Structure 1
Amino acid sequence: MTTLTHDQTRTAPDGRPRNGRGPRQIAPRLGGTAWLVWRQHRAAFWTVIAVTLLAVIGMVYLRGQMMDYLSTLKPTQKRPGGLPADFDKYGDIMTDVGSYLNYYPILAGVLLGAPFIAGDLESGTAKLVTSQSVSRLRWLTMKLAMPAALVALSTGVLSAVFTWWWNPVKGFVTQAEWTSGILFDVTGPVPVAYALLTFALGVAVGLLLRRTLVSMVVTLGIVVAMGVVWSRFRVNLGHIMSVSTNKGVGPTARQPELPDMAVQQGQGTYFLTSSGDRLDWMTCLDKIDNDKAHTACLESKHVVGWTKDYLPFEQMDTMQWLGTGIMLTLTAAVVAFIIIWGRKRLL
């Protein structure tokens, strides 16, 4: 009798457990606040996972095509300093994908971050949850931790696969310089930190404005402005180096050559004087039509050669980690603000 009663309380007439957890359950087995956050935002979470998997499959396929092409080349087919001209189509595809991946931080801030808490405040869900046994700190922590972990995992995977795709042809993809956002911001650790920062900013805006649509619009403006600032600040993370010549600037003189994959900085090529001073390219420009007069003008200003400023490719890793550290520090500051503000003024 006891056994029968026990079985009836645990098993429904159709043989399934009464708690709904059958052996074929696919969703993660979570409990408490974690289950609530997953259940509430599972559509967004599954969308991120699905898009990430599709992007990874696409990049693996495209890399396979590129490597198959490279394996068919003969040494005689290669042009000086690079690959055959028809390789450009593979470079175009790679830079196009890199430009698409550049939108991930914007989407993380606008579509994930901004509505995440603003929607709960607007609908009253936050008030309902925190009126139960769940503390504000615990609710805020889980609301931040679960999507942040997913964003970090997604961007980390995308960055690793894109970097793996780019590595074999680093010196041949000339469609974009390595300091551009198409390559710098989608390889290494930068995309993870960038996406986490925009997500945290979106959450903070939503916490302050408490309206989903308004928060998304404001977050979009902030993230776009931040992207403009970052694009100008990015090259300042490196140490600019110079290469010069001192054999004159006559018609037969050669300008200095930059190392492979180096990115020229500044206004271009400067004239170098015997005292080490620099003169810009407009010096003696009025005599450029006459080689002798132009050379005589430059000699009168003691010009002995040219000089160029550049960032060497070897600094890319250092610059990326430095930028990542700055972004993670800002993210930590934003998260601290969210926790402090939310504990006091959430409702």
Structure 2
Amino acid sequence: MSTMTSTDNTDSADSAFSDSARTEAGRGRGLRLSGMNWLVWRQHRAAYWTLLAATAVTVAVLVYQRHQMITYLEGYGYPHLKSGWEDKFDQVPLDSAAQLLGLLPILIGVFVGGPLLAGDLETGTAKLVNAQSVSRVRWLATKLGVTALVVVVCTTALSAAFTWWWSPVKSSSYVMDWADSPAFDSSGPVPVALTLLTVVGGVAIGMLLRRTLLSMVVTLGFAVALQVVWSYFRMSLGNVITVTSHNGVGDNSTPNVPDGAHQLDESYLTASGDLIGWGSCAEATEKARDACLDKAQVVGWSIDYIPISQMSSMQWLGSSILLALTAGIAVFVILWGRKRLV
């Protein structure tokens, strides 16, 4: 009798174990994560879920803010806006959102990219992985791939939502100048490319320094330096257009510039075709100013500008360069880590 009871209990336990195993297997198939992908997600799930949750909340806020803006603009005949709509338009929410999105590459690079490999190297997890049957290249590629996928999904969603919100008033420099960092770097493909480069750069820094806190600090410096270099480089992506006039320098004498164009420079044009700074004849009196203009033989104006129509092509060109740099750093991480990781 006791033997039968023991057998029944064993069969029951085996059945329960099998049911549990089938349940776990079903969950794995449902999430489509297994092996190294599952391991990387499991290890960094707190950071990934934080990014995804923060993105979902932020996108919801951006969508709500756009609804509020459209409600206001409809009072001025949107989409064909009447004059005067800018007088009471509140641009603070749009500016604040752009400033916040501009910080994303720095924040994600520091808190996700910096510790990604540095944490494993500091705690010895990398040695444990190296002792398994999985190759270092596969481990590194999976780490970079899963992290890059989460970053791309989040930044693409945020950029799309912000671009959608800003697009109805994009051509108005009163709201935001498209060539300035808050607008240019928070829309289109630029946020995705900047964030990926910062994150992968942080991964490389962490791999070389092997200390989590130190890697985060150095990644912060790298991210800030990248933003500064990018801000100087950004406008060189466009094709500068020059327009001139020969109607003197009085009222209504400046050449016409398209709406929304970003003006780079404005100079006096002389009879010989030379350019002099518009401040060269900033005399105290109008008579003295006119005498200065006559002496310099000023005949009109010369204005350099980049039209807003070039914004999209400039963003894609700049993003291509940033993504090429990102790919180069990723290859370096894999090649270096294949032989020198542990």
Task: Give the TM-score normalised by structure 2.
Answer: 0.91
Secondary structure, in 3 states, of the residue corresponding to 1:21?
helix
What is the count of residue pairs matched by the alignment? 335
- Aligned partner of 1:306 in structure 2 is 301
- Aligned partner of 1:274 in structure 2 is 271
- The Cα of 1:239 is off from its aligned counterpart by 1.0
Mapped to 1, the partners of 2:176 and 2:167 lie a distance apart of 14
Mapped to 2, the partners of 1:184 and 1:36 lie a distance apart of 37
Please state if 1:72 is matched with 2:75: yes
- Check the 8 A contact 2:86/2:174 in 1, yes or no: no
Match of 1:44 among 43, 47, 66: 47
Please state if 1:11 is matched with 2:16: yes
- Aligned partner of 1:86 in structure 2 is 88
AA aligned opposite 1:30: L
1:299-338 matches, within 5 Å, as 299-338=294-333
AA aligned opposite 1:67: I
1:182-197 matches, within 5 Å, as 182-197=182-197
AA aligned opposite 2:38: W
Q: 1:27 to 1:180 in 2, by over 3 A?
A: farther
- Check the 8 A contact 2:205/2:219 in 1, yes or no: yes
Q: Unaligned 5+ residue runs, structure 1?
A: none
- The Cα of 1:19 is off from its aligned counterpart by 5.9
Match of 2:336 among 335, 338, 341: 341
Per-residue CA distance 1:7-34 (angstroms, 9 max, x = gap): 753424xx95246628778983421111
- Check the 8 A contact 1:83/1:172 in 2, yes or no: no
Task: Give the TM-score normalised by structure 1.
Answer: 0.89
Q: Unaligned 5+ residue runs, structure 2?
A: none
Q: Between the two proteins, what is the percent identity of the paired residues? A: 48
- Check the 8 A contact 1:272/1:303 in 2, yes or no: yes
Mapped to 2, the partners of 1:196 and 1:216 lie a distance apart of 16
Per-residue CA distance 1:54-77 (angstroms, 9 max, x = gap): 0110001111111112223369xx
Secondary structure, in 3 states, of the residue corresponding to 1:11?
helix
- Check the 8 A contact 2:28/2:34 in 1, yes or no: no
Match of 2:291 among 293, 296, 311: 296
Q: 1:184 to 1:74 in 2, by over 3 A?
A: closer
- Check the 8 A contact 1:10/1:18 in 2, yes or no: no
- The Cα of 1:279 is off from its aligned counterpart by 0.6
Mapped to 1, the partners of 2:33 and 2:15 lie a distance apart of 20
Q: 1:24 to 1:329 in 2, by over 3 A?
A: closer
- Check the 8 A contact 1:249/1:295 in 2, yes or no: no
- Aligned partner of 1:113 in structure 2 is 113
Q: Give the root-mean-square deviation of aligned CA atoms.
A: 2.6
- The Cα of 1:35 is off from its aligned counterpart by 1.2
Please state if 1:176 is matched with 2:176: yes
Mapped to 2, the partners of 1:279 and 1:312 lie a distance apart of 23
Mapped to 2, the partners of 1:101 and 1:259 lie a distance apart of 28
- Aligned partner of 1:97 in structure 2 is 97
